Amino acid sequence: MSETATPNLDESDVDIKVMKELVTLAAEATARKVSAEIKAELKTDMAAYKADIIKAVREENHAYHGDMTPAQHAISHDRMNKFLEWMENMNKSFWGQIVAGLVKWAFVVLLIGYFLWNQAGDQISKVTTGS
């Protein structure tokens, strides 16, 4: 009869090994669970941030362009370019320079008047509201 060699293990050694395996398994399960929770939380946070960024971009675009569509905006730029080219061509003649100078001065006066009107409006609203 051949005797098989069995290691002499105490019950305490077996209990410690089993406990180590159980603790390892519990730690791995907990880590997976926490990882999944954090991943889900990050996904919802990123979706919220993405929605906020898209909303901010749309609001900025609307503030810049107003209710214009991209085609209307392009047409507006084209009209402005045509006007500036016309003004440039007009500057080539003597009378054109005089007309262009008058238009420039009228534009400056209107622009200054607009700013003064806005300033006066702010002061009037402060006086009427008592601020």
Predicted pLDDT at 1 = 43
Nearest 5°: the CA angle 26, 27, 31 is 120
Residue 131 CA to residue 125 CA, distance in Å, equals 8
Q: Where are the domains of the chain?
A: 11-67, 71-131
Could you read off the pLDDT of 79-128 as tens digits, one per residue? Answer: 989 988 887 887 788 887 888 788 889 999 999 988 888 887 666 556 56
Predicted pLDDT at 78 = 92
The dihedral built from the CA positions of residue 78, 84, 86 and 88, taken in this order, carries a sign that is: negative
- Whole-structure pTM value: 0.36
Could you read off the pLDDT of 20-70 as tens digits, one per residue? Answer: 899 999 999 999 999 999 999 999 999 999 999 999 988 887 887 777 777
Predicted pLDDT at 76 = 86
Could you read off the pLDDT of 4-20 as tens digits, one per residue? Answer: 555 555 666 668 888 88
**Which of 104, 110, 78, 76 lies closest to 90, judged by CA?**
104
Tokens standing for 59? 């609001």
